[in-house]
Structure 1
Amino acid sequence: MTESSDYTEYTDYSAYSEYTDYPRKKICFAILVHNRSEVLIDLLDNIRCYCPNSSVVLYNGGDDPELCKGVGYPVCPTSRKLYYGVTAIYMLEVMEWLEDIDYSYDVLINLDSDVLFAREGFEQFILNEMKDKEYMGVGTKIPDDDFYCLVQLRQEFNQWIPLLGNEPYRESFNVGQVYSRKLVLRLLHDDQYELLKSNLRDTKSFGVDEIVFVTMVERLGYKLHAYREDVASAIRYRPHFPLDEMVSLVNFQLECSLIHPVFRELKDEARSFIREAMKRKIQLSPDYQERFMEEYLGEMPYLIRRSKYYGKKIEWLAASEDKGLLYWRENQSGRTKDILFGPYAFGSEKIEGLTALESRFGNLEAVCRTGNRLVHYWRDEHTGEWSPSEPFAEGVTGMPAFLESSYGNFEVVAPLKEGGLGHWWRNNDDPMLPWFGPIVFGTEQYDEVILVENNEKQLTAISCKEGKYQYYVRDDHNSWVWYGPYD
């Protein structure tokens, strides 16, 4: 029986009825969480968008016992602090816990909190591949003699030989390992289960989960399988994915959906791109909208998570079918059971494109396209009232992009009707808050644009044309010229 710890708010299995009573989902992701709840929430939104038919369970292996509190997903009751590279016990404890509460799934997949999905497709890949398999992993093979995790395990040979026997062992990358429910039950009821559990609890060796589980599976008589290379090529140990590689992957490596690793920083360039592209999909597709909301909220609903609420509440800004904007806020974590308050209606123009952010002033700020003009709205957090600016840009089309730069300025980029992109900015240190621009760059016709700061603190505009992305980079601190496009 799984025991509880101080690392979870759940100590009674009846508390899980909310999750076990849901319609059965074939895929369950087990996520080992270390720190930064805002990054965890970013990943959970990402999974909700691109793997909507999968369930998620969490294991809190970080310093903060309340790290996963309030995010709306079940947390393994034996969660406790685990140390870098020595985390294998987590997966076994998750397996045991899910059986204790009779959690329904067909396949269990090991993820870390520095993964993201770049698109849909992973669920169907898993279900197709696992029709006749019990185990699958990335790079499954006999390890090289100098494989670091094997070298580490050899330092504890005396405790592992009774369980694994003699070499050769097998290896499989930790992230993405897939276990069928049948295999999980076999592991949990094996005669050597207690030895496996005690060894994983006591080991000090780095990365034994990349050897022990896959070797145990093979020793139990199951055939091992590796991911197809076109899918596995985006799952690696290092380096972290930079923006240029992420854009290329989204454009050209269409079979790649699960990406590892991505820096655990909300403002990381690659993470920001994937998040903003996801938000744009939600805005433009009713199918994606249904994954986040139970009712119609308006046209082009834009998802907002604010640091003010530690990312645990969702707010929405949407365009009215007639004129103006609709603002909604949520009272909890963003699960579909939570209550939406709204709409608060404001504005008198027909809105044809919109984006929003939380500014350093503590306000919600929005940039909206009405006709061929851009207007800035902001919400006073004390009164709750929204106020518009005069139009600050014209000649625009499509969806604008909006961010607050590390310099403190508001930065806006939008496609131009005559082709190319226009860049406007507002000096937030000037009491008059003046807008400047446009600086025009590029010549092609674009449908939409995403704006991020790259990891060198340079503005980067990622434009979309017929489903393909190109990006431009501003030479900040030097010429301030926009260079590109790159793809």
Structure 2
Amino acid sequence: MFCFAILAHKDENALRQQIRNIRKYTSKDFMIVLYNGGENPNFGKRVCRQENVMYCPYSRPLKWGKTGRFFYDVMRWLEDIQARYDYLIYTESDAFFVGHGFEQFVRKNMQGYDAMGKLIRRETSPRTTSWIPGKTMWKEWNDWRPFFQRDNFYGTFNPMQLYRHSMIKRMLAVTDRDHLERLFAKTQVFALGEMLYMTLAKKAGGRLRAYPKSSIEYLRVYNRISLDDAKDARSKSDVMFVHPVKDDDVRNWICEH
């Protein structure tokens, strides 16, 4: 069972397209959870009812660049309701599938591993990093070090982070929840989710790996996916997903073909 956690806050039509896109490219053995990170408390609820998608009641408004708790809230809620799944995938609103085979790909590439991301960084010193999120973590490291109980931290890229359910359980088990809530309340770390979850996984003894390079050619940080990009990605057998899809015409093309 694959569980996709979607972080979204606007454009219900785009949300519906994304849900149907996931459904198109996966088998029946999956579920989707929507986390509403926007100010409108009703965003997405109608779509969830119509599309048979779960709505995370722990949702709360989140600011751009400060969405780090989204995945924690989802994994905590799934444990509270004793949901059964094998893998949990961090899915942002602008990530779309363009090819089949994701489930088989995951089962093959996760043999011997507990978590996977676009890349895996190990940050050991503020003097040796040029990575912006990492720099912001180092500025607060005196606060975060006691929580992680380590002298270094790990990083990846938010979209398509993937964790075994057994790994999620171990991550939650080593988390001091009151301490983490105090950190959430005051942190200014940018893109916290790119560091929090991989570091927790490592703290819990997780085995981490990066996605094979050929599969993430169109998993980008900033440069939006153009229509030509989407068409090129569709033609490559190793590419299953693209990010970020920001334009209606690109999203429409992906969903129609």
State the partner residue of 1:275: 255
Matches within 5 A, 1:91-170: 91-143=71-123, 145-165=129-149, 167-170=151-154
Q: Does 1:210 align with 2:194?
A: yes
For CA contacts below 8 A with separation 6 or more, give which structure has more relative contact order: 2
Q: Does 1:257 align with 2:240?
A: yes
Correspondence for 1:88 among 59, 68, 77: 68
CA distance in 2, matches of 1:244, 1:115: 16
Matches within 5 A, 1:29-40: 29-40=4-15
Q: Does 1:180 align with 2:155?
A: no
Q: Which protein is richer in strand relative to its size? A: 1
Correspondence for 2:230 among 246, 267, 276: 246
CA distance in 1, matches of 2:151, 2:70: 25
Find the residue that maps to 1:70 and give its secondary structure.
Answer: helix
Query: What amino acid sits opposite 1:259 in the alignment?
Result: V
TM-score using structure 1 length: 0.49
Following TM superposition, by how much is the alpha carbon of 1:78 offset from its aligned partner in structure 2, in angstroms? Answer: 1.4
Kindly indicate whether the alpha-carbon contact (under 8 Å) linking 2:91 and 2:159 is maintained by their aligned counterparts in 1.
yes
TM-score using structure 2 length: 0.90
Correspondence for 1:232 among 187, 193, 216: 216
CA distance in 1, matches of 2:10, 2:151: 36
CA distance in 2, matches of 1:131, 1:258: 21
Structure 1: 5+ residue runs without aligned partners?
1-25, 278-487
CA distance in 2, matches of 1:122, 1:146: 32
Kindly indicate whether the alpha-carbon contact (under 8 Å) linking 1:137 and 1:178 is maintained by their aligned counterparts in 2.
yes
Identity rate of aligned residues, in percent? 31
Kindly indicate whether the alpha-carbon contact (under 8 Å) linking 1:121 and 1:255 is maintained by their aligned counterparts in 2.
no
CA distance in 2, matches of 1:103, 1:181: 10
Find the residue that maps to 2:22 and give its secondary structure.
Answer: helix
Which ranges of 4 or more aligned residues in structure 1 deviate by more than 6 Å?
none
Find the residue that maps to 2:60 and give its secondary structure.
Answer: coil
State the partner residue of 1:55: 31
Matches within 5 A, 1:428-467: none
Query: What amino acid sits opposite 2:138 in the alignment?
Result: R
CA distance in 2, matches of 1:130, 1:62: 33
CA distance in 2, matches of 1:129, 1:172: 17
Following TM superposition, by how much is the alpha carbon of 1:193 offset from its aligned partner in structure 2, in angstroms? Answer: 3.8
Following TM superposition, by how much is the alpha carbon of 1:155 offset from its aligned partner in structure 2, in angstroms? Answer: 2.4
Larger Rg computed on CA atoms: 1
State the partner residue of 2:46: 70
Equivalenced residues, count? 248
Q: Which protein is richer in helix relative to its size? A: 2
Kindly indicate whether the alpha-carbon contact (under 8 Å) linking 1:171 and 1:215 is maintained by their aligned counterparts in 2.
yes
Q: Does 1:223 align with 2:179?
A: no
Find the residue that maps to 1:241 and give its secondary structure.
Answer: coil
Kindly indicate whether the alpha-carbon contact (under 8 Å) linking 2:18 and 2:93 is maintained by their aligned counterparts in 1.
yes
Following TM superposition, by how much is the alpha carbon of 1:191 offset from its aligned partner in structure 2, in angstroms? Answer: 5.4
CA distance in 1, matches of 2:250, 2:111: 33
Query: What amino acid sits opposite 2:199 in the alignment?
Result: T
Spell out, residue by residue over 1:325-367, the C-alpha distance to the aligned partner (whole angstroms, 9 max, x if none): xxxxxxxxxxxxxxxxxxxxxxxxxxxxxxxxxxxxxxxxxxx
CA distance in 2, matches of 1:249, 1:123: 18
Kindly indicate whether the alpha-carbon contact (under 8 Å) linking 2:112 and 2:207 is maintained by their aligned counterparts in 1.
no
Query: What amino acid sits opposite 1:34 in the alignment?
Result: H
Change (3 A) 1:151 1:90: same
Find the residue that maps to 2:159 and give its secondary structure.
Answer: strand
Kindly indicate whether the alpha-carbon contact (under 8 Å) linking 2:217 and 2:239 is maintained by their aligned counterparts in 1.
yes
Query: What amino acid sits opposite 2:74 in the alignment?
Result: V
